[in-house]
């Protein structure tokens, strides 16, 4: 127990620490409030509190990658969470003549857990200290091409990580030392094995020395907290709090890649997108404080891993250090003197993003760096009219002809010549509307897969129809390249067409393109278009289960690998159906290391297919093809017309004889029956 003088001194130190800590935290709070976007209602937050708290406390998202680092991180995080209770107990016992839980099973359990938490944190911190400072893990560094703010270039991350690690080492370590003196003073405690072990070092010390050691350990452990609190708002350690805030307040999106809409009917809105850091939605500012700086997002980013200038991790880190540097003036409401493109990310990096969503899916604290990039594109496109010149052709085609190929609307159904593919006008009583999409309508290679699906549907007796010339591009490429105005126009037109064609009946829509699937199902509802949309692999799975079609058998022992399109597996969770179809063909299905929700991008998304790929050390599609080829597969199966194009190009360049086929082409031989022809 502390003396009266110690209590007075401690309370004074607490007051000073809390005052300066409050100043820092209040600045962070005011900066975050400068961000745009609506704040969630209290009722909504209360409804989400349980799930957010469970996610935060369990650290569940961290297990998606790096199992060893995840294990040691959990040792630290779980131990540190328990240390909130440990510090409260130590504080009470230091101020009052009481031993909490004394002589009870609860006391025994508490002392055991406190001792285990101490060891857990120290072991975890030892691992992370060695990883950063002894082994200098490459995963924690950045490519030379990536833009970094001056403090980061000068080694600020390494310095700040060292300070945080020293604080944790010191706080937990001194608590262990102080507690070991306490054990030596009162006798060995089997419920505190580590403290008892360390207490052996103090054998033979007199009572006065042990009492001084206990007091010193208490003061050093709590003294470090008091010193650290004012510095806390400026450290990466703040992610402990802001990760939980992120889970609680993150926008509830229809999918990880669904963008927020722009209200073009709001005449008071003068600017679109983001230019300065305070233009970002406030949740994106929370991201900067929640970031662990673990670089997992850049590890899965197709642009970064192929040597481009983009690192989603560096984007968040740059935001954080810029905020720290300018916290006082930003908190006071002053406008930022710099644009995001001046310090956070380069222009080339903005246009290198494939909008695959891998960075969002992998982040253990719920950050969404992809959205920062797409909001920057909006500003560049809508306000500055600055975008890659190659996109002009695609934009012009979508505006004039309803397709990015800029080909005639009258040719949209040319792919179906010779097949029985009725339009909604010819078959108004259809049960299934097939949204063909632009690629199967105009791209010669994708047309083959469209013809294959038409034959399968006809053979299965499906009562379907297509929109024909009335169908227009969904606008996915326009939206993800920042041209939200064009997307809005296309969405309004398509929603009107679909509502008329469906006639108010709950009929399903099937599409072969995951981008069309995502846009129709997850983004058109923002404008009132709510439809029951499925991917053709889901439909084919239904037909095979109903024995309306059978899957063609492959050659004995043929090895096939399936490439999960980003907007099929990661964005919409459709992973099992394509594999079920392939397994029914009796092929040997071999998985790539990155598959399912963690699949690697083909390189076409985010409108990349309509522009030149940004400079880097490798092409994204060739990188993915090499991963597929490494499985020993003879065939790469895909479920997206853009993936079909990108991987076919890569296979042709590699010249290894590996086939790339749309999944319907692999099943077509089992459709059976004759197919009526369309003249």
Distance CA 114, CA 93 (A): 15
Enclosing domain of residue 281: 248-382
* Cβ neighbourhood burial of 632 (10 Å; 0-12, 13-18, 19+): exposed
In a domain, 536, yes or no: yes
Q: Are residues 19 and 91 in the same domain?
A: yes
Q: Which residues pair with 563 in a beta bridge?
A: 638
Q: Are residues 428 and 575 in the same domain?
A: no
pLDDT of residue 672: 40
Pick the last residue of a domain from 517, 544, 571.
544
In a domain, 555, yes or no: yes
Pick the last residue of a domain from 222, 244, 266.
244
In a domain, 253, yes or no: yes
CB 565 within 8 A of CB 302: no
Distance CA 440, CA 405 (A): 11
CB 605 within 8 A of CB 302: no
pLDDT tens by residue, 400-432: 999 999 999 999 999 999 999 999 999 999 999
Res 676 pLDDT > 60: no
pLDDT of residue 581: 92
CB atoms < 10 A from the CB of 629, how many?
18
pLDDT tens by residue, 485-519: 999 999 999 999 999 999 988 899 999 999 999 99
Q: Nearest-CA neighbor of 603 among 309, 390, 353?
A: 353
pLDDT of residue 278: 96
Q: Are residues 491 and 523 in the same domain?
A: yes
In a domain, 675, yes or no: no
Q: Are residues 138 and 239 in the same domain?
A: yes
In a domain, 388, yes or no: no
b/e for 331-360, b at 16 or more Cβ within 10 A? beeeebeeebbebbbbebbbbbbbbbbbbb
pLDDT tens by residue, 4-35: 999 999 999 999 999 999 999 999 999 999 99
Res 296 pLDDT > 60: yes
pLDDT tens by residue, 569-579: 999 999 999 99
DSSP characters over 457-500: HHHTT--EEE-GGG-----HHHHHTT-HHHHHHHHHHHHHHHHH
pLDDT tens by residue, 246-277: 999 998 888 888 898 998 888 788 899 999 99
Distance CA 467, CA 441 (A): 12
Q: Are residues 190 and 316 in the same domain?
A: no
Can you give the CATH number for the domain in which 577 is found? 3.40.50
* Percent of the residues in the chain that have a pLDDT greater than 70, as a whole number: 98
DSSP characters over 426-458: T-TT-SEEEE--HHHHH-HHHHHHHHHHHHHHH
In 354-414, which ranges are continuous DSSP H helix?
A: 358-362, 369-382, 391-400
Q: What is the pTM of this model?
A: 0.93
Res 671 pLDDT > 70: no
Q: Are residues 338 and 361 in the same domain?
A: yes
In a domain, 268, yes or no: yes
Q: Are residues 278 and 317 in the same domain?
A: yes
Provide the token pair at 138: 């490459």
pLDDT of residue 498: 97
CB 438 within 8 A of CB 405: yes
Res 675 pLDDT > 80: no
Residue pointed to by tokens 């005449």: 267
Q: Are residues 108 and 226 in the same domain?
A: yes
Pick the last residue of a domain from 544, 576, 599.
544
Q: Are residues 418 and 514 in the same domain?
A: yes
Q: Are residues 55 and 124 in the same domain?
A: yes
- Domains in the chain, number: 4
Can you give the CATH number for the domain in which 305 is found? 1.10.1060
Distance CA 575, CA 634 (A): 21
Q: Are residues 208 and 145 in the same domain?
A: yes
Q: Are residues 258 and 358 in the same domain?
A: yes
In a domain, 679, yes or no: no
pLDDT tens by residue, 599-624: 999 999 999 999 999 999 999 999 99
In a domain, 431, yes or no: yes
pLDDT of residue 669: 53
Averaged confidence pLDDT in the chain? 93
> In 76-162, which ranges are E strands?
none
């Amino acid at each position: 127990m502390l003396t009266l003088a110690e209590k007075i001194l401690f309370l004074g130190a607490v007051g000073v620490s809390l005052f300066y800590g409050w100043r820092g935290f209040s600045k962070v709070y005011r900066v975050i409030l400068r961000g745009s976007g609506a704040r969630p209602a209290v009722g909504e937050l209360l409804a989400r509190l349980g799930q957010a708290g469970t996610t935060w406390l369990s650290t569940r998202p961290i297990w998606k990658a790096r199992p060893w680092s995840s294990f040691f991180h959990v040792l630290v995080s779980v131990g540190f969470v328990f240390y909130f209770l440990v510090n409260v107990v130590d504080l009470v016992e230091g101020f009052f003549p009481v031993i909490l839980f004394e002589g009870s099973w609860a006391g025994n359990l508490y002392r055991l857990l406190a001792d285990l938490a101490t060891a857990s944190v120290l072991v975890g911190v030892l691992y992370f200290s060695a990883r950063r400072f002894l082994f200098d893990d490459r995963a924690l560094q950045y490519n030379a091409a990536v833009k970094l703010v001056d403090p980061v270039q000068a080694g600020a991350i390494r310095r700040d990580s060292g300070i945080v690690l020293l604080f944790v080492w010191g706080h937990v370590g001194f608590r262990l030392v102080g507690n070991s003196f306490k054990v030596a003073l009162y006798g060995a405690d089997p419920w505190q094995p580590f403290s008892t072990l360390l207490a052996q070092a103090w054998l033979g010390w007199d009572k006065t020395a042990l009492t001084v050691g206990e007091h010193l350990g208490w003061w050093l452990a709590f003294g470090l907290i008091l010193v650290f609190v004012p510095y806390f708002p400026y450290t990466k350690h703040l992610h402990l709090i802001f990760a939980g805030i992120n889970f609680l307040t993150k926008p509830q999106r229809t999918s990880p890649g669904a963008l927020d809409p722009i209200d073009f009917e709001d005449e008071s809105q003068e600017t679109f997108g983001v230019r300065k850091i305070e233009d970002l939605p406030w949740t994106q500012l929370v991201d900067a404080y929640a970031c662990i700086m673990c670089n997992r997002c850049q590890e899965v980013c197709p642009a970064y891993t192929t040597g481009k200038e983009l690192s989603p991790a560096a984007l968040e880190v740059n935001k954080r250090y810029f905020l720290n540097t300018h916290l006082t003036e930003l908190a006071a409401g002053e406008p930022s003197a710099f644009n995001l493109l001046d310090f956070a990310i380069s222009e080339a990096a903005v246009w290198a993003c494939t909008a695959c969503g891998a960075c969002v899916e992998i982040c253990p604290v719920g950050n969404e760096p992809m959205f920062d990039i797409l909001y920057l594109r909006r500003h560049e496109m809508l306000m500055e009219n600055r975008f890659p010149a190659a996109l002009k052709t695609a934009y012009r085609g979508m505006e004039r002809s309803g397709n990015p190929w800029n080909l005639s609307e009258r040719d949209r159904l040319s792919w179906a010549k010779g097949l029985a593919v009725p339009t909604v006008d010819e078959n108004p009583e259809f049960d299934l509307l097939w949204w063909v999409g632009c690629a199967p309508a105009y791209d010669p290679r994708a047309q083959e897969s469209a013809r294959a699906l038409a034959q399968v549907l006809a053979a299965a007796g499906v009562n379907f129809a297509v929109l024909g010339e009335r169908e227009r591009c969904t606008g996915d490429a326009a939206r993800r390249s920042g041209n939200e105005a064009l997307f809005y126009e296309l969405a309004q037109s398509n929603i009107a067409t679909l509502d008329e064609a469906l006639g108010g009946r709950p009929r399903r829509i099937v599409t072969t393109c995951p981008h069309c699937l995502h846009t129709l199902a997850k983004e058109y509802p923002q404008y009132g278009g709510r439809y029951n949309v499925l991917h053709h692999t889901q439909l084919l799975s239904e037909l095979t289960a109903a024995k309306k079609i059978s899957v063609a058998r492959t050659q004995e022992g043929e090895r096939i690998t399936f490439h999960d399109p980003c907007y099929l597996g990661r964005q919409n969770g459709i992973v099992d159906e394509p594999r079920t179809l392939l397994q029914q063909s009796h092929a040997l299905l071999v998985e790539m290391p990155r598959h399912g929700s963690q699949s690697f991008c083909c390189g076409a998304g985010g409108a990349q297919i309509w522009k030149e790929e940004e400079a880097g050390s490798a092409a994204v599609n060739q990188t993915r093809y090499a991963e597929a080829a490494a499985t020993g597969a003879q065939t790469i199966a895909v479920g997206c017309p853009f993936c079909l194009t990108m991987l076919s190009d890569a296979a042709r360049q590699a010249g290894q004889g590996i086939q790339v086929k749309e999944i319907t082409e692999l099943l077509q031989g089992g459709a059976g029956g004759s197919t009526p022809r369309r003249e």
